[in-house]
Structure 1
């Protein structure tokens, strides 16, 4: 009986080890993240630095510029995190686009109102368009999106003529070529 138990134990152990080897096996190229994340300061307001995180796959020389999407987080213009749309940005970058998550001033951290959120949104899209060549972005294929207050920011960037930062070159358009809005805070009446 002891011999049978030892054989069963040995067989079970062999199966477990074989399965562990199969489950743990990885191709070296698949373990590397194909998406790179770069951080840029797109605007300074007093001591506040506003950042963009740019997600992309390195583009080979000579490839066509890519479409881009800028995401604005939600949070009622009071709070929120630039990381809200990180999974979306990574997914789009994996598919070959350039994706951007943009920080903007909010009431809880900066004591601002919604108009400054829109101003910062315009600055973010304008910065991306102005830096399109170095980021390998097609300046005529830039979208903006966001959820809740971030959806409002994206829509306002596209539709409202005011709320410009007087220090910026407004000859560079801040209007996105497309909108992707998740439950935006909008009144369309």
Structure 2
């Protein structure tokens, strides 16, 4: 086990920074691990946002605090980001930071890395002391898409024939990459829908417009892969989101419900992307949880799908009177992976 390399804000959390989980041609892929002083806690794998082209694993809401408060280990993972060509539009160029040290690669490299991180974390659980059988994925925006995809596609090799030649399992290949629960903040779920409403980044990510690559757009969409075996899911999305339309989470919730999967969907009134009130106020995920906890708390509508076999007692994923924010996520994790 590596020695802690950072001083946790909470004395009961040890921090291991810059752990290499994969060595790619483009460079080393790393993660940061936050371990609470608990015996075999469950693990939450956090996947950052940034439009698949920007940000780093530092773009995570206060992991030391929530590792301590929730009693969960938290791993914030890097994944290869998409290359940005010189002729990309101003919106994409505005997000791109050429000094970002994260290795670059073409989709499905993003998904391959997230699955590799999950397998590596499960394979090394005994070394660090968390429970390999209780793992949730949590992601925001582009990371929400990748977390949802990791939930509904159990094995990276199952993503689809369209990507067969681009899928690899070089990291802990005999270990499961499945997760037992998913939390998505304003994650994209349907690239075919996105292609009609925000074509720029999906086309960049998937190698061209949907008209040229319909199968890639379909297979990269978490919505395509929902089944009765999908894990319980907590969705949170702003109704006023101008970056990833709330319709993405609406469709995904409905699909989970139809498949008989337990899910909860928080739709926050008057909140934009990253929980900002206006698009010009959007900041990073580092402060996003604080925006949910402001007073007064955001108005919300909550939809719950609870499925039981005949004769069984319904067990909801959480008490829907809870406001969106850390308490709701904590209770969801407690009822799914604890």
TM bucket normalised to smaller: 0.7 to 0.9
Q: What CA RMSD, in Å, does the superposition of the two structures yield over aligned residues? A: 2.0
Aligned residue runs from structure 1 range 134-173, under 5 A? 134-160=127-153, 161-162=158-159, 164-173=167-176
Counterpart of 2:25 (choices 40, 46, 49) is 46
Larger fraction in strand: 1
Matches within 5 A, 1:18-97: 33-39=11-17, 40-46=19-25, 48-59=27-38, 63=39, 65-87=40-62, 89-95=63-69, 96-97=71-72
SS of 2:42's partner is strand
TM-score, normalization by structure 1: 0.74
Unaligned runs of 5+ in 1: 1-30
Alignment check: 8 A CA contact 1:158 1:174 kept: no
Tell me, yes or no, if structure 1 residue 103 matches structure 2 residue 78.
Answer: yes
Q: Deviations over 1:85-129 (max 9, x none)?
A: 141x22331122111100111024544223110000000101110
What is the aligned partner in structure 2 of residue 180 from structure 1?
Answer: 183
Query: Greater CA radius of gyration, 1 or 2?
Result: 1
How many residues get paired?
Answer: 154
Aligned position for 2:318: none
In structure 2, the gaps of 5 or more residues are: 1-8, 84-101, 160-165, 191-222, 225-338
Tell me by how many angstroms 1:58 deviates. 4.0
Quote the offset at 1:35 in angstroms: 2.1
Change over 3 Å in CA distance of 1:55–1:150 after alignment to 2? same
Q: Which has the higher contact order (CA 8 A, sep 6+)?
A: 1
In 2, the alpha carbon distance for the partners of 1:93 and 1:86 equals 11
Describe how 1:2-21 pairs up with structure 2 within 5 A.
Answer: none
Equivalent-residue separation in structure 1 for 2:64 and 2:107 (angstroms): 28
Q: Distance in 2 between matches of 1:173 and 1:100?
A: 17
Offset at residue 164 of structure 1 (A): 4.2
Q: CA deviation at 1:76?
A: 1.1
Structure with higher helix content: 1
